[in-house]
Amino acid sequence: MFEIRCFTVNPFQENTYVLINEKKQCIIIDPGFYYEEERNGFLKFMADNGLTVARLLNTHCHLDHIFSNRLVQKMFGKAPEIHRLDQVVLDRSPQSGQMYNIPFEPSPAPVGYLEEGDKVVLGDDELEVILTPGHSPGSISFYCAKQQFVIAGDVLFKQSVGRSDFPGGNFETLASSIREKLYKLPDETVVYSGHGPETTIGFEKVHNPFVPEDPSTRLA
């Protein structure tokens, strides 16, 4: 079973996830460590726990989710895996850093692309890739059926949703991703978002004002 560790980091308060199995192997998702103390704390955590990095995954490639892609490559030899539709977002990320006056080391090129339905396997555990665009063109979510959780990036938050006004974003596409993909998961599925606290699919279907299960009740 995965042990899930969350680090809330960088100027955007982004959630970075490390999924660890019983053999001390791990998958890093959206490494957003920006400040030196954050990076040092992360590396200390990895060393103290004797962790071996198996995969580096990005739910999407906005700058706050990729700040430490290069660090992971340098220290652990793993380049990111993304959806091919987010390659354009990755390519634009240095310019985004300049726009926000937040310079960072550009991400290495992807080592491969993930497609909907792919399985990310680590020992006896696996994550299913779900394509959930709308926040970015190639946003993906990672669903673990065995443990009933989904790492949803910036698609779905507790009683909120990701922005859809960035280049390549679209609210109707986002709402469709949530209703047709995420809301089809079991109600008890825990949602680990890219920002903010965890929630559940069942709670959001009833209480999310932006994308309720019944679109006729959406917040105006």
pLDDT at position 218 over 60: no
State how far the Cα of 141 lies from the Cα of 41, in Å rounded to an integer: 26
Output the pLDDT for position 220: 46
pLDDT at position 215 over 90: no
pLDDT at position 58 over 50: yes
Query: 18 lies in which domain range?
Result: 3-217
Residue range 84-129, pLDDT digits in tens:
999 999 999 999 999 899 999 999 999 999 999 999 999 999 999 9
Q: What is the DSSP letter of 145?
A: T
What 3-state class would DSSP assign to 6? Answer: strand
Output the pLDDT for position 219: 54
What 3-state class would DSSP assign to 5? Answer: strand
pLDDT at position 53 over 80: yes
Supply φ then ψ for residue 166, to 5 degrees: -80, 160
Q: What value does the mean pLDDT of the chain take?
A: 96
Q: How many domains does the chain have?
A: 1
CATH of the domain at 38: 3.60.15.10
What pTM does this model have?
0.96
Question: Under a CB-based contact definition with an 8 Å cutoff, are residues 129 and 115 in contact?
Answer: yes
Distances (CA, A) of 205 to 86, 134, 193, 196: 27, 18, 15, 18
Residue range 22-33, pLDDT digits in tens:
999 999 999 999
State how far the Cα of 8 lies from the Cα of 13, in Å rounded to an integer: 6
